Amino acid sequence: MTQMMTPPPPPPPGMTAPTQPSGNPSGMSKLAIAALVFSLLICLPFVAPVVGAILAIAALVVIAGSNGRLRGKGMAVTALILSVVVLSVDIVGAIKLVDATRTMITKPVRTFVQQLEADDLAGARAALSPAVSKSVTDDELSAFKSWLKDNCGTLIDVKIDGELRAYQSGLTRPANTRTGIPSSTNTLASRQVFVDAPPLELIFDKGTFFGAPSMTLDPERAGAKGLFDIATLDGLVIIHDGEVMRFPTEK
């Protein structure tokens, strides 16, 4: 025999029946979804993780104030953590890229000078671009080596001149040549790209001198020499006592 369900008694006079929360109690926060999407957009470095973190924080605030109407707190927390991690990776990657670029510019100069100091003319030529290596003689290399030894001493380090003191000291580049190498002598392949590298601080035991290299980027060197070891030296200018020394000399 079945029992009949009786309706609950009416509330006492002066009291109203409890009401259900308004809205959808199982709704997902759109802010949390958007935050997760942006946190996963690794193709937009810096921008995507920053936007993802902002949306995640906004989602957590909105969810906390929704009185249980919105879900997605876990998703928002996940998006916030991912955004922070991705942003950290982007920052570390940017720092490494800057360091690699600096090394790409300074290494050919350092190698060239150090090989000259070691009287290794073949090693010095290896730091030069092919066209320049063919155009200069051993006598020119030896003469530049002697000038460096007499005027600058022994190389200690090569750094990017971030304050551009080389140009403030009077360094200028010829309008129609690349650091003393006439354009008419350039026989490099079209796939190679000329760049005007930043000025340098060349630190010798006799003092710090300023100058600038002219370089060639050869993408085909990347496989054999390393991803950023693609630069070879076209020429080098150094300021000494207000005068500019060029290698190779203008012909």
Q: What is the pLDDT of residues 33-69, one digit of tens each?
A: 999 999 999 899 999 999 999 999 999 999 999 998 9
Question: Are 84 and 137 members of one domain?
Answer: no
What's the pLDDT score for residue 12?
A: 61
Question: Are 74 and 172 members of one domain?
Answer: no
Q: At 114, is the pLDDT very low, low, confident or very high (cuts 50, 70, 90)?
A: very high
Question: Are 139 and 51 members of one domain?
Answer: no
What's the pLDDT score for residue 87?
A: 96
Does residue 5 lie within any of the structural domains?
Answer: no
Question: Are 153 and 47 members of one domain?
Answer: no
DSSP state of 8: P
Question: Are 185 and 151 members of one domain?
Answer: yes
Which is nearest to 181 in space by CA: 142, 213, 229, 149?
213
Residue with tokens 């009287």: 119
Structural domain of 165: 118-247
Percentage above 90 pLDDT, the chain: 55
* pLDDT tens string 169-192: 766 554 443 433 333 333 333 344
Task: List Cβ neighbours of 196 (8 Å cut-off, separation of 6 or more).
Answer: 173, 178, 212, 214
* pLDDT tens string 72-97: 999 999 999 999 999 999 999 999 99
Question: Are 214 and 156 members of one domain?
Answer: yes
Average pLDDT, the chain: 82
What's the pLDDT score for residue 168?
A: 72
Q: In angstroms, rounded to a whole number, what is the distance separating the alpha carbons of residues 53 and 40? A: 11
Question: Are 239 and 124 members of one domain?
Answer: yes
What are the tokens at 182?
């006439």
Question: Are 88 and 124 members of one domain?
Answer: no
How far, in whole angstroms, is CA 52 from its chain's centroid?
A: 22
